[in-house]
Structure 1
Amino acid sequence: MYSTQSGKALFPFIITLFLGLCIYLYLPSSQGEQSNFSGAATQVTAHTVTSEENAVLIEAIGSARANQAIYIRSAQNDYVTDIFFNDGDLVSKGQKLVQLQSQEEELAVKELSINLREERRQLDRLTELSRSQSTAKSLLEEQLSRVDATEAQLESAKTKLAEMTIKAPFSGLLGKREISIGTYVSNTTNITTLDDISIIKVDFKVPEKYLAQLQLGMKVMTQNDAYPDKTFNGKVTHISSRIDSVTRSVEVTASFINEKGLLRPGMLLNTALELSSNQALMVPEKAVIPQQDKHYVFQIEDGVANKVEVHVAGRHNGWVAIDKGLENGQQVVTEGIIKIRTGSKVSIKG
């Protein structure tokens, strides 16, 4: 049997032998794994940098309105005898919409026309007499006055008769019909609405500091949630002469040609005014790494990713304009950034 002292002497030796064996078995495997890790390329997604148009934009929200918009009303008071339109009709300028009862006005025009012919006949007779009789000259002047008065009455009657037929004052889109045949209308009765939507206008606010850069004809882009993938292009057609003393902004009006009628009055439009435009290198926003007041990207060259500093010139719709730090045609990492460091080997997916 071993003594207690002999057991205590062997114990350190056994521990040392066990640790040595573990190191021997672990070290080759660890070195192999490290070697494999350092040689493996990390898969990433990349974007090739291209030079594109970079616009400096002012974004705002505004409501769409028609180029012209009115309520159709009658200038005369009477009963409706005929209606020549339906809800939502597209009409042309001068097209007949409503006919009011007009027999009385027609008779007045007929009567005055007869009276005018008689007054002119009398005028012609007195004109002949005035050549030989001096007393007829005063009668001639009186007759001239009668003719002029009758002509004025006839023109007034014709105007009233014409107003019994209600026509479209300009081309546009009608709204809902508010009357029926037999309705008694006055000059306060809303018959329908008429909107000229061939051009849609939107008013929006621009901060006062940009006033010196504003010009008529500047490019304006707008979008609406009804057409999320479509952008409508227009231009500035009016700049207010006054600055709002509360908001310190100036109201700008942009006009958009609405050939297909997609835009409608009252729509909420997301508007972007282009102040200036230039060429810049564009990269996806997710490729840019912000650190304090600097920005970086991982640029790929010969399968190796290196972190380089870039200067951001502007941002718009998920894209960043770079004017320093990159060159046209270079590739930058867009996905997989957290897996790599400067000098990491990478392979590009796809």
Structure 2
Amino acid sequence: MAARNPNHPQAQRAQARSGARIVLKKLITVLLSLAVLVGAYLVAFGVPLQVAQYWGIALTEEATPAARGGPGGFPGGGPRGQGRATTVVLAPLEELAYTLVLRTIGSGVSLRRADVVATEAGEVVETALHANQLVEKGDVLLRLDDRTEQFALEIALANRDQALATVTRYKGLNQNGNAVVTEVALSEAEVALRLAQANVGLAEVALENRTIVAPFSGRLGLSDVSVGDRLSIGDAIVTVDDSTSLLATFEVPERSIGLLAEGKPVLVTTPTFAGRVFEGTITAFDSRLDSLTRSATVQAEIDNSEGLLLAGMTFAIRMTEETDPLPMVPSTAITWDRAGAGIWIAENGITRRVPVTIRYRNGDQVWVETDAPIGAQIVTEGASKLRDGAQVAAADVRKGLGT
């Protein structure tokens, strides 16, 4: 059989009909796909309010909220939930103070502390340097060999007595009208007496410096000075710490500077006495922040009258402060959009969104700033499904818990 000529009119018409059928099938497939998508949208979200108005669909009083809010909070009611309210959990907006807590680490130093050093050179002839011994101000800690100073004091006293006798004799002769003693001689004798008295004072000071005493009441540290040692000026002898009160020094970050105030109480704990809390008060803090750590140094005085705490201990510092009452909502009530955070308020079964500014968080509780009135019914569960104007119904929480 001879092959058909493709240029034959009948062959060309057959090819054209075949191409048209293919195009029609593709068009039908596209239309069916669009129909499926539109149907799925209407089932899920309902008829949009603008489309309903364009088509002239009359919204009844029952259908109006559903057309505005629909199931899931989307416009329109749709065949699945037109006219039905979204079930949510409602609760009144409460106001509650938030407790700010700052935790940091510090170390303790004695309120008064001193390094006792030798102010004179000499040999040690007596010591009373017992580690951890309590001493009172003025108690003798150490004596240096003072024989030379004692002799110097004796000489000064003798010179003073001689000068005093000379002045006394001159005054007596002068009062009796003796011309041998002139006013000039009497004046020179009085000057000599004053110099002798000053030398006595210097000798007494030199003798006192040979004895080292406690500068204040406190507890002695370790010392390696013993009898027979020879000290030079500036040599360390012992440390004295007045630990009846300790200073806890710690750093406070920039974000918590507002907590600082003189006299503010702090709570102090230490691993040495687990479970026990020591109280203290802020006595001073730096006037500027450290350029590297962005923190301020703070000192707090801690009562240590029992003597349990030692200088150098590591302390865990805790400071607390309550803010003014702020609106508090569960974290599930917060929703987000392009404008930021917000909460949903239900009024007469209709919701509206109110923006909020989050201030603090603690677990599932959030403290916010908002224009919503205290006591207003807010959506605490199911807020993510809502849109403005959606109709809502309060869920029976007790029934949901099975009670």
Bucket of the pairwise TM-score, normalised by the shorter protein: 0.5 to 0.7
Equivalent residue for 2:400, pick from 319, 343, 346: 343
Tell me the matched-pair count: 258
In structure 1, the partner of 2:244 is 198
Aligned position for 2:157: 113
* Distance across 1 between alignment mates of 2:163 and 2:203: 17
Distance between the aligned counterparts of 1:197 and 1:159, measured in 2?
A: 31
Distance in 2 separating the partners of 1:106 and 1:65: 40
Q: Is residue 120 of structure 2 the alignment partner of residue 76 of structure 1?
A: yes
- Give the match for residue 208 of structure 2: 162
Q: Where does residue 264 of structure 2 map in the other structure? A: 218
- Which residue, 180, 198, 215 being the options, matches 1:152? 198
Give 1:201's aligned amino acid: L
Matched, 1:61 2:105: yes
Residue matched to 2:307: 261
Residue 274 of structure 2 corresponds to which residue in structure 1?
228
Change in CA separation of 1:53 and 1:195 when aligned onto 2, cut-off 3 Å: farther
State the superposition RMSD in angstroms. 3.7
- Unmatched runs of 5 consecutive residues or more in structure 2: 1-95, 336-357, 369-397
Give the match for residue 95 of structure 1.
Answer: 139
Q: Deviations over 1:41-94 (max 9, x none)?
A: xxxxxxxxxxx9974332221111111222222211111111123222111111
- Alignment check: 8 A CA contact 2:248 2:300 kept: yes
Give 1 or 2: higher strand fraction.
1
The CA distance in 1 between the partners of 2:280 and 2:399, in whole Å, is: 46
Check if 1:245 corresponds to 2:291.
yes
- Percent identity reads 26
Q: Cα–Cα, structure 1 residues 53 and 179, in superposed 2: closer, same or farther, change >3 Å? A: farther
Query: TM-score by structure 2 length?
Result: 0.56
Q: Which has the higher contact order (CA 8 A, sep 6+)?
A: 1
Distance 2:210 2:361 in 1: 61
CA deviations 1:76-113 (Å, max 9, x no partner) are: 11111111232221111111111111111112112211
Distance 1:228 1:152, change over 3 A: same
Deviations 1:230-278 (A, max 9, x none): 111000111223332333332221000101222111111111233x347
Structure 1 CA distance, aligned partners of 2:334 and 2:244? 48
**What TM-score comes out, normalization by structure 1 length?**
0.64
Preserved CA contact (<8 Å) 1:129 1:136? no
Q: CA-to-partner distance for each residue in 1:157-203, whole Å, 9 max, x for gaps? A: 11111111111111111111211110001222222211111110012
CA contact (8 A) 1:90 1:174 kept: yes
